[in-house]
Amino acid sequence: MDDVFIALGTTIKTAGGQAAFRAVDYDAVLAVARAARVAGATRLGLVSAMGANSHAPLFYSRVKGETEEAIAALGFPTLVVVRPSFLEGERESLGQKPRAGEKMAMSLSKLLRGVIPLNYQSISGERVAQVLVEEVAVRQGHHVILSGDMQPR
């Protein structure tokens, strides 16, 4: 095994609280990355989130940043982190209830596409996956790709 891709994550509400969110978005993600490194993986692609920062005041963004830092410390020769904005896509088949606020933000994002900066425009999960796979294949070292840089041109 050379390449590993991690796109595991939840929301605080879906998880049922901050501790459960951290168990998924930090503990489980880091466990997969550690197991991959032990198994000999040399390249890792991680889906994180816009605003990820271990010093962020927002719990969600802080955990995402802490996760990125912990994975970077594992020493993968290639680590590509993508930080998408709002992810477009159908979630009900995954057992997730529709979220009114997110639906409104998506509609607004599409309506104002020409005005909203690229980093804050919604992006499809398919596009994020495509960019991650392509970048892991050609990059060396640690790279962070922001949502705006993944937008189709």
pLDDT confidence bin for 144, thresholds 50/70/90: very high
Using a 10 angstrom Cβ sphere, with 0-12 exposed, 13-18 middle and 19 or more buried, the burial of residue 127 is middle
Q: What is the DSSP letter of 82?
A: E
What pTM did the predictor assign?
A: 0.89
Residue whose structure tokens are 């993508």: 82
- Over residues 99-126, the mean pLDDT reads 77
Q: What is the layout of strands, in order, in the sheet containing 3-6?
A: 3-6, 43-47, 78-83, 141-146
Using CA atoms, how far apart are residues 146 and 120, in angstroms rounded to an integer?
10
pLDDT top residue among 120 and 81: 81
Which residue from 152, 150, 153 is spatially nearest to 81, judged by alpha carbons?
Answer: 150
* Residue 143 or 105, more confident: 143
Domain boundaries, the chain: 3-150
In this predicted structure, the answer to whether residue 1 has a pLDDT above a threshold of 70 is no
Q: Check: CATH 3.20.20.140 for 3-150?
A: no
